[in-house]
Structure 1
Amino acid sequence: MLHEYRDEIHELKQQNAHFAKIFEKHNELDDKVTKAENGDIPMTDIELETLKKEKLLLKDEAYKMIMDYRKSKA
């Protein structure tokens, strides 16, 4: 997620427990989505769509935190 901000992500994960939790939850959901899409775990289309929406909300929140962090460092 957001690979172009690796440095900021690394720093935020060290400094901000909320960001670290969001990042971890996003990665867990990403893993579940991938497994569901590959047929490794059974999931309805509605369940899969719900996971994808939750994942996107977490990504949006993380992105906002990264942008705020970058502005504070400027």
Structure 2
Amino acid sequence: MFENQQRDDVEKFIGADKDTRRLYFRHQELNDKVEEASRGCLPLSDIELRTLKQEKLQAKEKLERMWDTWQSTRQH
């Protein structure tokens, strides 16, 4: 996430408030778990994996909306 953004901007965004920071690190945690499950290192049922992926997607979408809002406030 945020691969195409400048690192300084991402760090400022993440540091903007505790909710943003918490959601960003939760997304990272979910991403790690999904990757571990895909490699077979984390035993999960199909339902558990699907739930993790859904939560990860929801976190990503919310972060993207927050990023867009943050970017628009910086430009004005």
So what's the TM-score if we normalise by structure 2?
0.89
Q: Distance in 1 between matches of 2:17 and 2:55?
A: 21
Stretches of structure 1 that go unaligned for 5 or more consecutive residues are: none
Tell me, yes or no, if structure 1 residue 70 matches structure 2 residue 55. no
What is the aligned-residue RMSD (CA, Å)?
A: 1.1
- Which amino acid in structure 1 is aligned with residue 27 of structure 2? H
Q: Percent identity?
A: 32
Aligned to 1:19: 20
> When you count helix as a share of all residues, which structure comes out higher?
1
The count of corresponding residues between Structure 1 and Structure 2 is 74
Q: 5-14 or 19-28, which moves further after superposition?
A: 5-14
Tell me, yes or no, if structure 1 residue 37 matches structure 2 residue 38. yes
What's the offset of the Cα at 1:32? Answer: 0.5
Stretches of structure 2 that go unaligned for 5 or more consecutive residues are: none
Q: 3-12 or 26-35, which moves further after superposition?
A: 3-12
Aligned to 1:9: 10
What's the offset of the Cα at 1:9? Answer: 2.2
